[in-house]
Structure 1
């Protein structure tokens, strides 16, 4: 069951909005959260939402945060930032989704019923929304077929019109993306192909991971990968030639503990592991060459691994307590990108990734 869900969540993430789909100012990613079971819902909604998710048989979900302010690892964003958290969950049918959306909002409203005020969205009258006058936040939940889209927004000013307009922009961007994603039955979740496009057998897997994992062993479309990036506008341009990407021991996909269940809980971005890698597949060799030239545009000629064609390496600046070496290799329409805290280790990973590509059919 867990392995099937770990395949379903990346599939869903490819159809979840990021900030730049809503407003170009929301270019920074502030974190992601996988939802594999009802108990995970408390990381993005209130604790009281957990029994609602369980009672309505929530199957899985994915949450992504965005902001107009670039986050720093382990540092909360300033209060004058605009933050959005978008959570999408799939339920077994339309009825359970509609019931869950109403209950999520009602439970949150009941925390302070004498202070909260219901908000009617003109464009989405079926959405359940409320805010607390004088507070620059708003929460909303909307059922869309088998899906529930939950949004929480924090802005610098307690302006109801601005808050409401941003909620409607989120729904306008998100709902068409879900229309293109047929929901999965519980049985279909179990029957998802682990590696339908041969990416996982081609990506370097030094940790010998065998179970799918959202941030440690998974494949994504370009949209899915952008959730894990800090500057998503720059990343979208950087990875424009990529059709698919496999991640291997790459990211730390969890929210922090500043405040659970609201947009501010996504405040530190998504951390990259100390040792990991990405494998990109592009349309053709020319696209691979273009991507390879961009993702490491200032290599150190003295650091390229010996006897590995189309490879380059460099030490990149970091504010971490260890050094950060990266290498990129290219083979036909694939580009591998690996990193480690030691140059020799990174070079060996690059050579191994190239060998995997050259020997894969």
Structure 2
């Protein structure tokens, strides 16, 4: 038997005792116990296989968590127009906890309005009718819709914010002209005549909804119709949402479902606090801003949006995100295993793929190097599955990704 075969045998779950003894004519009742080995023997380097305890939160982190909660209340553009089935940005859902993050999607002067009116939290979704891959659609290249929902302390603040968001954005160019949406007389909208894009904003209770709409032709009827349909879908969703009282934001738990504690931390022993980070300062009506989530957990709806409507996410219950490192929880181990095997086989068949031996030859870990990747993009990916959890860890270096994968496997074993 080869070393690899010995390793795989050591980590393979035990065959049920009843089945073995049936072959010899005897049956012993009882529940078989899988043998996953000793997590303490995993080659984890400086990482631990013991889950970290979640620390207490504060208002700053509470705003990030509340913004992630709003993913359950944000409309998916494909619900408004089935053709908007592709991502118009890096991720299909973007928590927006501060005015500074919102300005990545709107004009820079809008930031002062949001700060003045005490913006509490926010979230955005996006969709396009064409798949641009890693590129971002330019104005006129596709039909594009970005939906931004922002929360304010009260209805009066929201009303003032909606009015001034439109005003300062329209003032960026003297060529901008007002538009009206007949069904929403309280909404504000503008466009630059001849340019196939527009913005529309409306207040509803403590919320403000701002839309960024792009079209392939300078067709104001088509664009204002899309705005009306989006408001029709979005406003009822927000009315059903139960916002966390402002004075309770600091009490929001950092890890109520134990998902973050099950993830490999960014550094040994360091808790993964919730945050939203950007990797670019570019702004083209929000369609080329790259804003990424860290230390956040999305429910079923948020996971679908985050995964850009991929069918892989159809059965996901929860997803914990640390940029490209992710942890999925499925309703059962069978479903999690299916997702793990599908992704692993896809990786192995990829162009430039090189299979990397898993730590201790564990069959529940599949690692690959994408040799076609260049620059700062991580070349190494390991997929880890245990029970109803399936995780992805990435790194630019092979030794680092193997340690993370081993630690991730140990964490999942010890978190049951």
| TM-score, length of structure 1 as denominator length | 0.81
Asked if 2 retains the 8 angstrom alpha-carbon contact of 1:69 and 1:77, the reply is no
Q: Distance in 2 between matches of 1:52 and 1:206?
A: 35
Residue of structure 2 in register with 1:253 after alignment: none
How far the C-alpha of 1:101 sits from its partner, in A, is 1.2
Question: Given the superposition, is the C-alpha separation of residues 340 and 110 from structure 1 closer, same or farther in structure 2, using an over 3 Å criterion?
Answer: closer
Q: Distance in 2 between matches of 1:334 and 1:350?
A: 13
Residue of structure 1 in register with 2:27 after alignment: none
Residue of structure 2 in register with 1:55 after alignment: 116
Pick the structure with greater CA Rg.
2
Question: Given the superposition, is the C-alpha separation of residues 157 and 186 from structure 1 closer, same or farther in structure 2, using an over 3 Å criterion?
Answer: same
Deviations 1:269-316 (A, max 9, x none): xxx5xxxx2111111222212222233233557633325342222234
Three-state SS of the structure 1 residue aligned to 2:360 is coil
Residue of structure 2 in register with 1:116 after alignment: 177
- Residue 329 (structure 1) aligned with residue 384 (structure 2): yes
How far the C-alpha of 1:202 sits from its partner, in A, is 0.8
Structure 1 residue runs without a partner (length 5+): 251-271
Asked if 2 retains the 8 angstrom alpha-carbon contact of 1:238 and 1:294, the reply is no
Matches within 5 A, 1:1-80: 1-26=59-84, 27-31=86-90, 34-71=95-132, 73=134, 77=138, 79-80=140-141
Q: Distance in 2 between matches of 1:120 and 1:20?
A: 21
Instruction: Give RMSD over aligned pairs.
Output: 2.6
Structure 2 residue runs without a partner (length 5+): 1-58, 277-292, 349-354
Equivalent position to 1:312, from 366, 371, 376: 366
How far the C-alpha of 1:90 sits from its partner, in A, is 0.6
Residue of structure 2 in register with 1:298 after alignment: 346
Three-state SS of the structure 2 residue aligned to 1:30 is coil
- Residue 244 (structure 1) aligned with residue 318 (structure 2): yes
Residue of structure 1 in register with 2:337 after alignment: 289
Three-state SS of the structure 2 residue aligned to 1:43 is coil
Residue of structure 1 in register with 2:161 after alignment: 100
Residue of structure 2 in register with 1:267 after alignment: none
Asked if 2 retains the 8 angstrom alpha-carbon contact of 1:82 and 1:153, the reply is yes
Q: Distance in 1 between matches of 2:212 and 2:121?
A: 19
How far the C-alpha of 1:210 sits from its partner, in A, is 4.2
Three-state SS of the structure 2 residue aligned to 1:326 is strand
Three-state SS of the structure 2 residue aligned to 1:70 is coil
Q: Distance in 1 between matches of 2:336 and 2:327?
A: 11
Asked if 1 retains the 8 angstrom alpha-carbon contact of 2:68 and 2:297, the reply is yes
Question: Given the superposition, is the C-alpha separation of residues 201 and 94 from structure 1 closer, same or farther in structure 2, using an over 3 Å criterion?
Answer: same
Equivalent position to 2:410, from 355, 358, 361: 355
How far the C-alpha of 1:29 sits from its partner, in A, is 3.4
Equivalent position to 2:294, from 209, 212, 216: 216
Which deviates more from structure 2 when the two are superposed, residues 302-311 or residues 212-221?
302-311
Three-state SS of the structure 1 residue aligned to 2:374 is coil
Deviations 1:203-230 (A, max 9, x none): 111422442224121111243244544x
Question: Given the superposition, is the C-alpha separation of residues 116 and 350 from structure 1 closer, same or farther in structure 2, using an over 3 Å criterion?
Answer: same
- Residue 204 (structure 1) aligned with residue 264 (structure 2): yes
Aligned residues: 330
Asked if 2 retains the 8 angstrom alpha-carbon contact of 1:30 and 1:71, the reply is no
Question: Given the superposition, is the C-alpha separation of residues 78 and 132 from structure 1 closer, same or farther in structure 2, using an over 3 Å criterion?
Answer: closer
Q: Distance in 1 between matches of 2:339 and 2:217?
A: 41
Question: Given the superposition, is the C-alpha separation of residues 29 and 156 from structure 1 closer, same or farther in structure 2, using an over 3 Å criterion?
Answer: closer
- Residue 178 (structure 1) aligned with residue 226 (structure 2): no
How far the C-alpha of 1:99 sits from its partner, in A, is 2.4
Asked if 1 retains the 8 angstrom alpha-carbon contact of 2:88 and 2:144, the reply is no
Question: Given the superposition, is the C-alpha separation of residues 225 and 77 from structure 1 closer, same or farther in structure 2, using an over 3 Å criterion?
Answer: farther
Q: Distance in 1 between matches of 2:390 and 2:257?
A: 15
Q: Distance in 2 between matches of 1:115 and 1:201?
A: 49
Question: Given the superposition, is the C-alpha separation of residues 353 and 147 from structure 1 closer, same or farther in structure 2, using an over 3 Å criterion?
Answer: same
Question: Given the superposition, is the C-alpha separation of residues 327 and 30 from structure 1 closer, same or farther in structure 2, using an over 3 Å criterion?
Answer: same
Asked if 2 retains the 8 angstrom alpha-carbon contact of 1:280 and 1:334, the reply is yes
